[in-house]
Amino acid sequence: MGFDVGKVELHCEKNNTANKTNDISVNRLIVRRGQSFLVTFELHDHSRPTTDFLELKVETGPQPSEALRTRSVFGLPEGCGKGSSWKVKVHQGSVLPAGSITLDITSPADAPVGEYSLSVKTSAATSVRSSLGKLLLLFNPWCQEDWVHLPKEEERQEYVMREQGLVYRGSEKYISSMAWNFGQFEDDIVDICLKLLDVNPKCLRDPAKDFSARCNPIYVSRVVSAMINANDEGGVLMGRWDGKYDGGMSPTHWNGSVEVLRRWLKNGGNPVKYGQCWVFAAVMCTVLRCLGIPCRVVTNFQSAHDTDKNLTIDDFFSDYGVGPKQSPDSVWNYHVWVEAWMRRPDLSADSLYDGWQVVDPTPQEKSTGVYCCGPAPVKAILQGHVDLKHDVPFVFAEVNADRVTWMVFADGSKKKISTDSVSVGQNISTKAVGSDKRVDITANYKHAEGTEKERDVYNLAVKRVNIPEEDSNGIHGVSMKIVELTKPVSGKDIDLKLVLNSNDSETRTLVINVNVQAMRYNGIPSSQIQTELKEQKLLPNQDLTIPIHIPFSVYGEKMRESNSIKVSAVATDKDKGGAVYITEKDLVPESPLLTIKAIGSELQYSDMTAEVVFENPLSEGLRDCFITVTGSGLLTETMEARMPLLKQGQRLRVKMPFTPYRPGPKKLVAGFNCDQFRDIKASCNVYIKPVTGVVPRLP
């Protein structure tokens, strides 16, 4: 005869703290796979309770089965539930004579992640089970047997536990950082992440198989990559790159992932409008860290988008600058993706491809019929092993494609000008462990440009994707470069010079067209700013300098939905049969200064103040000024302040009170908008010291 199960204690605070999930919640059981947790319950009977028979059962998913490892039966005495990989033993703190038993339960390190029900049967003679409650099981980077095991504690703190980070944007010569609140431990985010898995198309088609496959971080990261974008059914974010954001938010509006994920849930799974690559990547980073997969946000400057899988990018110029696309290939000023840490036994038995994997949720190209990318091993990209899954050729091209420049003439004909094997894939960047420094990880992806090894790897990749190699036929004789005279700052005029030089012995007559265009960060022109055409004599072995002046009154309005300015010069040689020379320079004007600082005692549950300051740099007033402040663990919701008019030279100072509710390293993030400037960002670090024995005043 079995025992009646009485009061159940899941020891949520103790278990979650031991499993490093207490930042998510201490009011529900959330544990990591491969690590033990305690459950205590009372056994009621007239006789003395024993552990002669206890059978436990865990189940996850709508159709749990032992064959799919979504159900496991195990227990006491040893051998009960033979074959189960879940284990249990009596904890030394059990007090059987008092009718209380504490069990020490350990899940396997490769169990499917998600929500489980836990029940117990106290007699072999009955089918009656008593519920012990529910638990959430996450990936475990602290467990050596888990495929996501990350050996160094400081990296686990950065890539799993850190709620704030930096996203790098701009261009290769103008790298700027933007603070981002990942917020993976806000108390509703874990449920939103699981909801995201539950509504993915693979789960809707075959839920039993999908829940079983959640044991594999390769599968989970690929599903998340597809679900962050809305190009396929049910995704979180809709992408938009044309500058038209009616019915939603400009991608530059977002400061963090929490608001995006909450809006998706509130919208009933309809996509949030709008995102671009850094938003897609940062939201994916939140989801993976919440689920326990170590990850980081990575930016690749001069990032190629190779649509035809030939590892080359075709650029087309006319005499008025960047020309219309005759190929969907492009080179973005920058592109942002995620690296996730995991083993890849599916590719090699000897750990050859373990470690960082590129996973990219931005919807660029389909992968096996779905808009997702990766996981692609960074080690495979470095070695040119482009015949491996998933999507290695595409990522290889992003960091190492060759660029071919063509001149398109008025009659539609075109002429190959040059081949560039160097410029793609520059300053690949991510945030440093434990600090806000930028780390250049380009060497993880490719060998140094200009070296024989880099060309060998490129040629190997070309052979592995069966593409014939092509020789360059670039034209030489005239060199051109565009040089900055002043640092480009939004709100001020920009001055540059075009410098030409000839090593020929003859004077040349050049028709020079200097063109200035507002560019979106994905390499597409958004509008024409100005153009200038002139004819000049270029003397042998002498520099010819042409000034370029770009007034703010001309470029300012056209930059509101653009990322950069492209200045290009096309010179046609009237004396050399129409030879053409091209140079270009991308400028990212620096935003006016916005500052934020935290005032007060940096103590949990203490009153503090965020102070935001902005000064109008223009000779005219700024209208419709709007400030936002966010910060996971500091503010429960976004704070806002508005000012209808900020006069010429006037300083705006806003103070906003807040009460930090979670200890540790945090970050306040401010945003400023007005009629002339869009989404200027600032941030400051705050380290909140914990307090004990205090009743929280915030949820």
Residues annotated as catalytic (active site), given as ranges? 277, 335, 360
The DSSP call for residue 160 is I
DSSP assignments along 261-297, one per residue: HHHHHHTTTPPEEEE-HHHHHHHHHHHHHHHT--EEE
- 135: amino acid identity, one letter: L
d(CA 260, CA 264): 6
Record the tokens describing residue 439, joined without a space. 């780390």
Q: Is 503 helix (H, G, I), strand (E, B) or coil?
A: coil
Q: What are the residues whose beta carbons fall under 8 Å from the beta carbon of 81, sequence distance 6 or more?
A: 55, 56, 72, 73, 74, 75
Q: Is 381 helix (H, G, I), strand (E, B) or coil?
A: helix
Matching residue, tokens 């390293």: 665
641 close to 630: Cβ distance less than 8 angstroms:
no
d(CA 303, CA 677): 26
d(CA 445, CA 433): 19
Residues present in the chain in total: 699
d(CA 360, CA 60): 28
Residue 148 pairs in a beta bridge with: none
32 close to 149: Cβ distance less than 8 angstroms:
no
d(CA 492, CA 489): 6
Residue 430 pairs in a beta bridge with: 439
d(CA 552, CA 550): 7
The pair phi, psi for residue 217, each rounded to 5°, is -65, -25
Residue 615 pairs in a beta bridge with: 651
Q: Is 159 helix (H, G, I), strand (E, B) or coil?
A: helix
Q: What are the residues whose beta carbons fall under 8 Å from the beta carbon of 380, sequence distance 6 or more?
A: 347, 353, 386, 388, 392
How many C-beta atoms lie closer than 10 Å to residue 497's C-beta? Answer: 15
431 close to 165: Cβ distance less than 8 angstroms:
yes
